Amino acid sequence: MGSSYRVCCCFTRSFWTAELQPPDDVKELFEKYAGGAAAYMTAEQLRHFLAAEQVATTDDPPEKIVENVLKQRHHIAKFTRNTLSLDDFFHYLFSIDLNPPFQSEVHQDMTAPLSHYFIFTGHNSYLTGNQLSSDSSDIPIIAALKRGVRVIELDLWPDSSKDEIQVVHGRTLTAPVDVMTCLKSIKEYAFFSSDYPVIITLEDHLTPKLQDKAKEMITQTFDGMLYYPESDNLKEFPSPEELKRRILISTKPPKEFLEAEDPLRGKDTDHERPLQHLKFLLQNDSHEDEQDIVDPIDYDDCGDISQHFEPLTYKRLIAIHQRKKSKLEDALEIDPEKVCRVSFSEQKLEKAATSHGKDLVRFTQKNILRIYPKGTRFNSSNYNPFISWMHGAQMVAFNMQGYGRSLWQMHGMFRGNGGCGYVKKPDFLMDKNHVFDPRAQLPVKTTLKVKVYMGDGWRMDFKKTHFDKYSPPDFYTKVGIAGVPADETMHMTRVKDDQWIPIWNEEFSFPLTLPELALLKIQVYEHDNDKKDDFGGQTCLPVSELKLGTRAIPLYSYKGEIFKSVKLLMRFQFV
């Protein structure tokens, strides 16, 4: 516990480690299915155990499981026996490879429109650190794609010469990165972790001339990978299955296209400027006011600009059109003839949720809603994603280079469905006849019972003095639910003093109103009397994806990287 009184008296026994032993429940299971006092469990007996206790059928026949366990444990290619001892059985249960807590393959229906899925989404994907002064780079883009992120955001701005395009967080001290560097890295790593589509959201601050340049760069880089919509306005989004290994562009259509489509849009006062000021901007690329570079074309009586800059061609790149509306009611209007994307800040969503909760759910049944962090999150922190998810928002944009509990939850959500970056929204969010009311009080639908047996692996992954200088660590586990407010809770085991292999054997119950949106939070800490408790690992698991029975749970670092050896043995049941 970091207590000073131990320094002298415990030095000689300081790092003694107990032998890894199966807990009593595992011994009882072995005896139950191996037949009393039998020394070994046959493959057929293992089959009965899997069906009854793990509530599972497996693609691998039990004979194959037995063979894999024996190879892993004994490192011998050929065996005279094809049965499991108690220690073999324990090894199987405590093996992340052989007995994981959730499916590792894509198993959900991937043929529904994109709007039916939560999509793993990044915010300012090019920033290496904070939002004000960090460098821009393709390195965080590559890291995000390797982790399974499917939506990459690029902010496009003219450089100081106004002749080239750079990726940079505008009006900050962040350093830019070349746009081609980012595009080439997206192409190279887009399908590193998943074959399902990558969407590039462009925050476009370009002149029509540079939009045309961006179009050339994008089409040349992605060539046959780029998805072009069949028509200017999609009535419904295609499915992830249809879009496998394709790149989609999402941004605002050029202003002149919007006005040619609807002459009344010229009366929209969001960006109006005097006509002579606009003509000056078009003639003078060296104008210094960055604000004037944003959406520079607001009128269609400036001459036939499209003949010079081909804005309609740029428009053809846009697979997911972003709708820009200042009034909430207008932003959430549902057009039966076309689908769109709308972006809200986290504060705007919270405000909309209090007055238009069901409208948000209804809008997201067909259209895409993207939520992004408020501007004051300078340190690249993140927000509670559940407010977005319970209103159906598909793109909950996170600063992937940040750390902390919100990001752990985001990682947890997208461990679902084989980690492919697309998780099917629960049916209740897609019911058009009975639109879900996020503010309604709901009854408990099920109760999840979680038993925390034991943990191991810290002795392999950490230095002996990492937690305490003179004695073994004092671990405890926190187990809880992240989800809708009614389901949020956290419990804690007892502290196990001086044990590298802590055994808790404690059970907790979690009543759930919306298990479809719940994540099981698991965190391990090492208790210290005189300073902040040390972090020992964490994970978040989608409750709806949990494999029942006794399972091995891998733990992750604070930054979300998987530990090589650290794991827990736990049991999951629904009652």
Are 331 and 352 in contact by the 8 Å Cβ rule? The answer is no
Beta strand pairing status for 151-158 and 198-204?
Answer: parallel
Which residues 6+ apart lie within 8 Å of 321 measured at CB? 233, 250, 252, 253, 338, 340, 341
Rounded to 5 degrees, φ, ψ at 57 are -110, 150
Q: Which residue among 91, 116, 169, 391 is the active-site one?
A: 169
Are 197 and 150 in contact by the 8 Å Cβ rule? The answer is yes
Which residues 6+ apart lie within 8 Å of 291 measured at CB? none
Q: What angle do CA 47, 574, 110 make, to 5 degrees?
A: 80
Which residues 6+ apart lie within 8 Å of 535 measured at CB? 523, 524, 525, 526, 558
Sheet of 341-345, strands arranged across = 341-345, 368-372, 395-396, 117-119, 422-424
What token pair was written down for 135?
A: 């460098």
Length in residues, the chain: 575
Is residue 123 among the annotated active site residues? yes
Single-letter residue type at 210: L
What token pair was written down for 511?
A: 């009543």
Q: Which residue among 91, 123, 321, 411 is the active-site one?
A: 123
Is residue 169 among the annotated active site residues? yes
End-to-end CA distance of the chain: 37
Sheet of 165-167, strands arranged across = 177-178, 165-167, 151-158, 198-204, 247-251, 318-321
Catalytic residues: 123, 169
